[in-house]
Chains A and B, each alone.
Chain A
């Protein structure tokens, strides 16, 4: 087994805190092309513990209608990888400690060039990357060395159907956190599972005594669902509900800050 001897990064530091963590996802370039940095800063200042910046894609298979629509708007606004890295240059002067992850789909990263992408991300001070359609075997064969060289942590998803041995393998492949998908469905869906079924799944994962901390995502939308997810994990991830709060807001950063307050206060 590989022994990881990478330097600590901001993601691991965040999990040292003795509290439940709120991870917020938002789409880069939404609602306006230049909203990215003001929204990011507002989220961090309001108390988001980790922030995922969505890299918009034309065909986001794992996303529900809200994030799809925000991606369409962002692309229409002119967002792309080059623009995003331009916006993020110098971000660590204003958001020094909050872990920042980039989340998106593989094709735009491939076209940008994986090495190029990791180099730019690391230079901007990004800590982790979530690419849901990147297969584990491909990650190990083609991406792992590049990620490590740039001290970027991959985050992998786990679902109620993920087999135990696969969960163990995922747990070995990163030093960040495990993204527990709460139940069947795309992002932003209503959680229709019986509570007992979901509790049993979270409990089963907890009982595995994994190396990495866990954050629960998909279908978490408010203070109540955040609190209930936190019973089984070190925190939770909210995306679609934040995007909804930004939709049509006169002042997107203020709306982002108010949303974070509504969850943690």
Chain B
């Protein structure tokens, strides 16, 4: 049997080109292997699909609108559409994945859920579905992130989750992920780990990409209605680990005429020493069970990324994105803290939409992608800005 290699589909062992795989200690092997053997079958079950689709519609609020942003379009002299993932229940795209994974966890017979979170959006989305399904929920969050995303910490606790601070290393997303993995090592039988991005050992990158793919599936239908073509010229999304970008790109990956633009956080500037622009600063290595592009020193020690946004300061990117960067299928740009903050003001004032700080990185490249007046540009508006209000107040955006 021969299959045509695609960007969408990793190999059986979870490789996208040279990136991916499952580099995990033996203590995790049975769990990850169980998931690998079962996820595709479970997700293909009609009963799973029915329950998943129903929850996406009635609980998450899908499909999310595709909104033509006329004032942004006028400013950048192109046709800008915003895919309104900020209107999902809990305020970001993250819930698409957690709804799917909680159903998967239940079918695997798991009773306890763990998760990592950076900005808190994935933690909230996990706490939400655990409340919905009556499952125990523990969320690991870096101490630094708990401080800068206080409302989300409170939301998780209100939803009944236990939030455990990760106090090692940079005390951010990377360290929260380490702690969640250590929890899974200690609780191998009853626990499912809901990873929030397209990172981690195979099958997680593929699993999360499939669950987020609903974003681009809807985009194609909505674009056909609104523009007469399923295909835009550009799809733009921010990338930390890369889950919203994976979802926004997924159903366009095999359409080479669609330019895919991934936007990373440059922090204080790509080469300032305070950045999270992994595709520029990273080289191949292993982080959290996956071979991917990763920020590290010459000894292979993982370095501490920086971004004002708590959802983008991850020292790696998902293996799919590393492959897209390597193969030239996606174009990677980066945006500084300052330019992202300007984009927050611009989107708020021109469209009446306050975006999340992560999302603002994607909005900040509209003048850099080379879109013409007749081009259609879809920006994945991955989350709303309520969680960032304290940061916006501190940065004195007014």
Contacts and interface: CB of A to CB of B under 8 A. Distances in A.
Interface of A: 57-59, 61-62, 64, 68, 72, 75, 80-81, 105-112, 132-135, 137-138, 156-159, 161-163, 166, 181, 184-186, 189
B344 to A, nearest CB: 32
Contact of A61 (B25, B189, B296, B299): B25
A17 B197 CA distance: 51
Contacts of B289: 133
Given A133-B289, A185-B186, A61 B178 contact: yes
Contacts of A166: 29
A170 B196 CA distance: 32
B61 interface: no
B26 A134 contact: no
6 contacts: A62-B185, A107-B287, A133-B289, A156-B26, A161-B30, A181-B26
B301 A58 contact: yes
A68 B29 CA distance: 22
Given A106-B23, A106-B286, A133-B24, 16 more contacts: A105-B286, A107-B286, A107-B302, A108-B299, A108-B300, A111-B299, A112-B300, A133-B289, A138-B23, A157-B25, A157-B26, A158-B26, A159-B188, A161-B189, A184-B185, A184-B187
Contacts of B23: 106, 133-135, 138
Contact of B185 (A80, A107, A163, A186): A186
B181 interface: yes
B151 interface: no
A147 B299 CA distance: 21
Contact of B300 (A111, A137, A157): A111
A108 B301 contact: yes
B178 A59 contact: yes
Contacts of B21: 135, 138
Nearest to B183: A186
Contact of B181 (A61, A109, A137, A162): A61
Contacts of A161: 27, 29-31, 188-189
| Most chain B beta-carbon contacts within 10 A, residue among A75, A105, A111 | A111
List the 9 closest pairs (A to B, CB-CB), nearest first.
A111-B300, A108-B300, A132-B25, A157-B26, A161-B30, A58-B301, A80-B299, A62-B25, A107-B300
| Most chain B beta-carbon contacts within 10 A, residue among A58, A62, A106, A111 | A58
A62 B26 CA distance: 9
B302 A185 contact: no
B168 interface: yes
A109 B29 CA distance: 21
A189 B187 CA distance: 13
Give chain B's interface residue range (CB within 8 Å of chain A). Answer: 20 to 34
A173 B67 CA distance: 58
Interface of B: 13, 21-27, 29-31, 168-169, 174, 178, 181-182, 185-189, 285-289, 294, 296, 298-302
B292 to A, nearest CB: 11
Contacts of B31: 161
A134 B302 CA distance: 17
Contact of A62 (B13, B27, B285): B27
Contact of A135 (B22, B169, B188, B302): B22
A111 B297 CA distance: 9
A9 B207 CA distance: 44
| Most chain B beta-carbon contacts within 10 A, residue among A135, A181, A184, A185 | A135
A155 to B, nearest CB: 11
A132 to B, nearest CB: 4
Contacts of A58: 169, 301-302
A161 B187 CA distance: 11
Nearest to A181: B27
Contacts of A137: 13
Contacts of A57: 300-301
Contact of B30 (A109, A132, A134, A162): A162
A189 B183 CA distance: 12
A220 to B, nearest CB: 16
B18 to A, nearest CB: 12
A68 B168 contact: yes
A181 B30 CA distance: 14
Nearest to B34: A161
A185 B26 CA distance: 11
B79 to A, nearest CB: 44
A181 B26 CA distance: 9
B127 to A, nearest CB: 24
B108 to A, nearest CB: 14
A61 B188 contact: no
B26 A159 contact: yes
Nearest to B185: A186
Contacts of A157: 25-27
| Most chain A beta-carbon contacts within 10 A, residue among B23, B29, B285, B296 | B23
Contacts of B186: 184-186, 189
A57 to B, nearest CB: 7
| Most chain B beta-carbon contacts within 10 A, residue among A75, A158, A186, A189 | A186
Contacts of B25: 61-62, 132-133, 157
B287 A59 contact: yes
Contacts of A105: 286
| Most chain A beta-carbon contacts within 10 A, residue among B27, B178, B181, B301 | B27
Contacts of B187: 184
